[in-house]
Structure 1
Amino acid sequence: MFRSIPTLWKKWRASRSAGQQLDALLASADADAPYAERSDWLIELAHWIHRRGKLDADAASEPTPDAPQRTPPEHVRVRYLLHVLDRNPAWKANVGAMVRKLLRDSDSISLLCDAGMPVHSGLLGALVERVQAQLIPPAPNRRDLAALVTLMFPAAHDPEWIATLPADLLKRLQALIAEPAPAPAIAENVGSAEAAQNAQTAQATPAARLPGDFSLDLLTALHNLTCQISSTGLSPTVRSRLSSDDARVAVEKLPFFRLTRALLAVENARDAGEPARLLQEVSWLRLLLDDCRKATDDVFAHLYRHGVRVDTVFQVERMRMRIVRAERLLDAWMAADDAPTQARLVADLISANQRSQSVSHLVRSNFALLSRKVVELSADTGEHYIARDRAEYLTMLRMAAGGGLVTAVTVYVKFGVTGAHLPSMIEGLFAGINYAASFLVMHFCHFSLATKQPAMTAPTLARELDGTNVAAGRARFVSSVVALIRTQAAAVLGNVLLVFPACLAIQLACGWLFHVNLISPAKAHATLQSFSLLGPTPLYAALTGVLLWASSLFAGWADNWFVLHRVEDALAWNRRLRMTLGASGAARLARFCRVNAAGVWGNLALGMLLGLGPAIVSAVAFHFEVRHVTLSAGSIGVALGVLGTRTLGSGELWWAVAGVASMAVLNVTVSFALALHMALRSRDLGRRDVRPLMRAFWRRVRRHPMSLVWPIRRGELREDNE
Structure 2
Amino acid sequence: MPLFKVKNKPSLQELLTDFFDRSQLWLEEKDNLEPLIELVQLIRPLKIRNLQIVDLEPLITLLKDNPSYRDAFSFYLKDILEDRKFNKIFSDAAILQDVDFVFEVRKRIIAKFLPYQPEKETLEYVLNQVFYLANDGVWIDKIPLHQLHELYDLFGFTSMYESVTLNSALSEVLTAMHLITQRISGRAMETDVIKMVPEFDGLESPFSAFEKELFLIEDQIKNLEKHYVDSDDLSFAQLIVLLKQCEEFVEKAFRNSSKYGISLRVNQNLLKIKQQLERLKFLISLLKVEKEEDKKINGILMGLQLIKFNCYKNNVRQFIAESIQLISYEITQHTAKTGEKYITENRNEYFKMFWNASGGGIIVGFLCIIKILLSKVDTSIFGHAFLYSMNYALGFIAIYLMGYTLATKQPAMTASALIKALEEGMSKQGNNTQKYNAFAILFARVFRSQFIAFIGNVILAFPVSLLGIWLIDYSLGYNIASSKWQTLLSDLSPVHSLAIFHAAIAGLFLFLSGIISGSVANRDKHNQVYFRIAEHPLLKKSFGKKRTLKFSALYEKKWAGIVSNFWFGVFMGSTSALGLFFGLNLDIRHITFASGNLALALYGANYQVSDTMLFWGIFGIGVIGLVNFMVSFTLSLGLAFRSRAIPLSELRFISSSIWSHFKSRPFSFFFPMEQKVKTEVIENYLQTKKDTSH
- TM-score range, shorter-chain basis? 0.7 to 0.9
Partner of 1:407: 364
- 1:408–1:502: 8 Å Cα contact kept in structure 2? yes
Supply the distance in 1 between the matched residues of 2:406 and 2:153 (Cα, whole angstroms): 72
- 1:393–1:490: 8 Å Cα contact kept in structure 2? yes
Partner of 1:337: 293
Partner of 2:208: 257
The 5 A counterparts of 1:80-159 are: 80-137=58-115, 142-155=120-133, 158-159=136-137
SS at 1:337 equivalent: helix
SS at 2:182 equivalent: helix
Q: Deviations over 1:509-563 (max 9, x none)?
A: 555x548354243422332122222121111111121122222222223223322
- 1:457–1:484: 8 Å Cα contact kept in structure 2? yes
- 2:442–2:682: 8 Å Cα contact kept in structure 1? no
Range moving further from structure 2, 162-171 or 449-458: 162-171
Range moving further from structure 2, 569-578 or 683-692: 683-692
Partner of 2:614: 653
Q: Deviations over 1:338-361 (max 9, x none)?
A: 455654554444333322223444
Partner of 2:274: 320
* Change beyond 3 A, Cα 1:678–1:167: closer
Q: 1:671 is matched with which residue: 618, 632, 641?
A: 632
Supply the distance in 2 between the matched residues of 1:544 and 1:111 (Cα, whole angstroms): 46
- 1:31–1:94: 8 Å Cα contact kept in structure 2? no
Supply the distance in 1 between the matched residues of 2:406 and 2:58 (Cα, whole angstroms): 70
What amino acid maps onto 1:337 in structure 2? E
* Change beyond 3 A, Cα 1:718–1:350: same
- 2:424–2:681: 8 Å Cα contact kept in structure 1? no
What amino acid maps onto 1:577 in structure 2? L
What amino acid maps onto 1:329 in structure 2? L
Partner of 1:598: 560
Partner of 1:569: 531
* Change beyond 3 A, Cα 1:461–1:104: farther
Supply the distance in 1 between the matched residues of 2:680 and 2:564 (Cα, whole angstroms): 40
The 5 A counterparts of 1:354-369 are: 354-366=311-323, 368=325
The 5 A counterparts of 1:2-21 are: 3=2, 6-7=4-5, 10=7, 13-14=8-9, 17-21=11-15
* Change beyond 3 A, Cα 1:530–1:421: farther
How far the C-alpha of 1:296 sits from its partner, in A, is 1.1
- 1:163–1:340: 8 Å Cα contact kept in structure 2? no
Partner of 1:378: 335
2:662 pairs with 1:705:
no
Q: Which runs of 5+ in 2 are unaligned?
A: 684-694
- 1:475–1:696: 8 Å Cα contact kept in structure 2? yes
* Change beyond 3 A, Cα 1:138–1:630: closer
- 1:234–1:251: 8 Å Cα contact kept in structure 2? no
How far the C-alpha of 1:93 sits from its partner, in A, is 3.6
Partner of 1:493: 455
What amino acid maps onto 2:340 in structure 1? E
Structure showing greater Rg:
1
Supply the distance in 1 between the matched residues of 2:185 and 2:458 (Cα, whole angstroms): 59
Q: Deviations over 1:653-703 (max 9, x none)?
A: 221111111111111111111111222222334432322222222233233
- 1:545–1:670: 8 Å Cα contact kept in structure 2? yes
Partner of 2:688: none
How far the C-alpha of 1:630 sits from its partner, in A, is 0.6
- 1:432–1:611: 8 Å Cα contact kept in structure 2? yes
Partner of 1:196: none
SS at 2:676 equivalent: helix
2:66 pairs with 1:75:
no
The 5 A counterparts of 1:400-479 are: 400-467=357-424, 469=426, 470=430, 471=432, 473-479=435-441
How far the C-alpha of 1:317 sits from its partner, in A, is 0.5
Partner of 1:546: 508
How far the C-alpha of 1:111 sits from its partner, in A, is 1.7
- 2:447–2:669: 8 Å Cα contact kept in structure 1? yes
Supply the distance in 2 between the matched residues of 1:556 and 1:630 (Cα, whole angstroms): 24
What amino acid maps onto 2:625 in structure 1? A
Q: Deviations over 1:464-523 (max 9, x none)?
A: 342354536545543432222121111111101111122223344555x54835424342
Supply the distance in 2 between the matched residues of 1:404 and 1:452 (Cα, whole angstroms): 13
* Change beyond 3 A, Cα 1:488–1:225: same
Q: Which runs of 5+ in 1 are unaligned?
A: 54-69, 182-205
Range moving further from structure 2, 360-369 or 258-267: 360-369
Supply the distance in 2 between the matched residues of 1:521 and 1:403 (Cα, whole angstroms): 26
Partner of 1:43: 37
Supply the distance in 2 between the matched residues of 1:591 and 1:210 (Cα, whole angstroms): 62
What amino acid maps onto 1:587 in structure 2? L
Equivalent residue pairs, number: 667
How far the C-alpha of 1:375 sits from its partner, in A, is 1.9
What amino acid maps onto 2:641 in structure 1? L
Partner of 2:20: 26
* Change beyond 3 A, Cα 1:705–1:29: farther
How far the C-alpha of 1:140 sits from its partner, in A, is 8.5
* Change beyond 3 A, Cα 1:348–1:705: farther
SS at 2:342 equivalent: coil
What amino acid maps onto 2:81 in structure 1? L
How far the C-alpha of 1:433 sits from its partner, in A, is 0.8
Supply the distance in 2 between the matched residues of 1:485 and 1:345 (Cα, whole angstroms): 53
- 1:614–1:626: 8 Å Cα contact kept in structure 2? yes
The 5 A counterparts of 1:86-235 are: 86-137=64-115, 142-155=120-133, 158-178=136-156, 207-208=161-162, 213-235=168-190
Root-mean-square deviation (Å): 3.3
How far the C-alpha of 1:421 sits from its partner, in A, is 4.6
Supply the distance in 2 between the matched residues of 1:17 and 1:52 (Cα, whole angstroms): 16
Taking every aligned residue pair, what percent have the same amino acid on both sides?
A: 22
* Change beyond 3 A, Cα 1:101–1:112: farther
Q: Deviations over 1:292-323 (max 9, x none)?
A: 22221111122343222112111111111111
Partner of 2:194: 239
SS at 2:262 equivalent: coil
Supply the distance in 1 between the matched residues of 2:297 and 2:158 (Cα, whole angstroms): 21
- 2:99–2:268: 8 Å Cα contact kept in structure 1? yes
- 1:251–1:257: 8 Å Cα contact kept in structure 2? no
Partner of 1:531: 492
Q: 2:653 is matched with which residue: 675, 678, 692?
A: 692
Supply the distance in 1 between the matched residues of 2:547 and 2:257 (Cα, whole angstroms): 29
Partner of 1:203: none
How far the C-alpha of 1:24 sits from its partner, in A, is 1.1
What amino acid maps onto 2:598 in structure 1? I
How far the C-alpha of 1:566 sits from its partner, in A, is 1.4
* Change beyond 3 A, Cα 1:150–1:664: same
- 2:90–2:309: 8 Å Cα contact kept in structure 1? no
What amino acid maps onto 1:461 in structure 2? L
Q: 1:625 is matched with which residue: 587, 593, 600?
A: 587
- 1:85–1:91: 8 Å Cα contact kept in structure 2? yes
- 1:163–1:343: 8 Å Cα contact kept in structure 2? no
* Change beyond 3 A, Cα 1:371–1:570: closer
Supply the distance in 2 between the matched residues of 1:600 and 1:445 (Cα, whole angstroms): 12
How far the C-alpha of 1:171 sits from its partner, in A, is 2.4
Supply the distance in 1 between the matched residues of 2:438 and 2:449 (Cα, whole angstroms): 16
How far the C-alpha of 1:419 sits from its partner, in A, is 2.4
